[in-house]
Amino acid sequence: MAGKRRWWAAGLAGVVVLAAVAFVMLRPDRPAVAGARPVPPTAAVARTDLVQTTRVAGTLGFDGSFPVPAAPGGGIATWLPAQGAVIRLGERVYLVDNRPIPLLHGEIPLWRELAVGVDDGPDVRLLRANLRALGFGPDLADSDHFSAAVGAAVGRWQRALNVPDDEKVRPGQVVVAPADLRIVEIRATLGAPLPPVVATASGLTRVVTLDMPVAQQNLAVAGAAVRVLLPGGALTPGKIAFVGTVATAAPHDAGGDEVAATIPVRITLDRPEAAGTLDGAPVSVEFVSDTHRDVLAVPLVALLAMPDGDYAVDVIETGEDGSWTARRVVVRLGFFATGQVEVSGDGLSEGMKVQVPAR
């Protein structure tokens, strides 16, 4: 760790020296003469928070992966959704033998026939909740019991679907998923017998998934804010939704013995609409690696390398008559981030203007 810190400090010092040398070459070492025109370009000494970030590559997509099973007993696929189609509660997921198979929300599949007289169970509770949400049983309370009122609500729903209203729901006559679905891949063929899995689907939540190197896992904290760099260069805010605890490793190369261990991380977008319709697109995620709060900072290019190894800035002071003078202030350097550097020095305060190179 100490070696890494020395390498980091040396690298930053090199950046400062290069920037400072370039700045010195652009102007004389001596302060500007009072009354010279025009006033040189300046930047404000700001009191701010300096944030250092680390970027990790990820992939933009949709959350979750759900297989859409075929109805028991098979049948012929007579309608299939298009890839990318969104299926919402109560809408048909596919048609088998011209019968619509609608989507219900829930965490468990329907594994038995549900009708009046069936034993109480969580699948009945799921059905009651969906009938209520679809408007066919607005007065149905949460219960595990299949009552005559539930049967009547099922009949009304079946008539709306234009299927026989026998007031029974059998396995395979619905698709149960945790939420609305987006079709990712169609596995069935229109006009052919249904395969065991008709399609694969995802949720509608936009997410970024990435493999975080174990050496950087301390940067990934569930609930923490991040920024996602989208294709095209736009930055959009997000939050860390999930951080895995099991690391996986893969060889660096086919013949090498070294391995790179990673943990999975999932990130949600605060503004999903910013991602448009992109799916499977490469993105970068900015994690906050260090923060120094409420410090004085100047642009890195404002620094001057002094012959004795110190650094300084030229403070530009203007008079009411438009005249100006430059006052050189030796500064002590602190934290570096995003093209700025933390500074302190006698006579240096927030709001002062320091000279920077002309663009």
Domain locations in the chain?
Answer: 16-52+292-355, 54-62+205-290, 66-202
Residue type, position 137, single letter: G
Q: Domain 54-62+205-290: what homologous superfamily? A: Efflux pump adaptor protein, beta barrel domain (2.40.30.170)
- Please state, in angstroms and rounded to a whole number, the distance separating the CA atoms of residues 56 and 287: 8
Contact 77, 194 (CB under 8 A): yes
Pairing label, strands 86-87, 92-96: unpaired
Phi and psi angles of residue 36, each rounded to the nearest 5 degrees, phi first: -65, 150
- The dihedral formed by the CA atoms of 218, 265, 213 and 335, expressed in degrees to the nearest 10: -40
Which of 253, 243, 305 is CA-nearest to residue 19? 305
Kindly report the CATH class assigned to 66-202. mainly alpha
For residue 106, which amino acid is it? G
d(CA 200, CA 277): 18
CA distance 121 to 123: 5
pTM (global) more than 0.75: no
Distance CA 317, CA 279 (A): 53
Given this model, what pLDDT does residue 72 score? 87
Are 131 and 137 in contact by the 8 Å Cβ rule? The answer is yes
Give me the residues paired with residue 191 across strands: none
Rg over alpha carbons for the chain, rounded to the nearest Å, is 32
Residue 255 is predicted with a pLDDT of 55
d(CA 161, CA 155): 10
User: How big, in percent rounded to 5, are the helix, strand and coil portions of the chain?
Assistant: 20, 40, 40
Q: What pLDDT is attached to residue 257?
A: 57
Locate 27 and state its tokens: 């102007």
- Per-residue pLDDT tens, the chain, 359 aa: give them: 444 434 334 444 444 444 444 444 344 444 444 444 688 999 999 999 999 999 999 999 999 899 999 988 889 999 999 999 999 999 999 999 999 999 999 999 999 999 999 999 999 999 999 999 999 999 999 999 999 999 999 999 999 999 999 999 999 999 999 999 999 999 999 999 999 999 999 999 999 999 999 999 999 999 999 999 999 899 999 999 999 999 888 665 555 555 689 999 999 999 999 998 888 899 999 999 899 999 999 999 999 999 999 999 999 999 888 889 999 999 999 999 889 999 999 989 999 999 999 87
Give CA–CA dist 110/122, Å, rounded: 9
Helix, strand, or coil (residue 26): helix
The pLDDT value given to residue 121: 97
CA distances from 229 to 141, 206, 237, 267 (A): 46, 14, 9, 12
CA neighbor of 358 nearest in space, from 296, 305, 302 = 302
The number of residues in the chain equals 359
pLDDT for 23 equals 43
User: Could you name the CATH architecture of 16-52+292-355?
Assistant: Beta Barrel (2.40)
Residue 24: the pLDDT is 42
List CB contacts of 282: < 8 A, sequence separation 6 or more. 57, 58, 59, 60, 231
β-strand partners of 225: 239
Are 285 and 54 in contact, with CB atoms under 8 Å apart?
Answer: no
pLDDT for res 81: 97
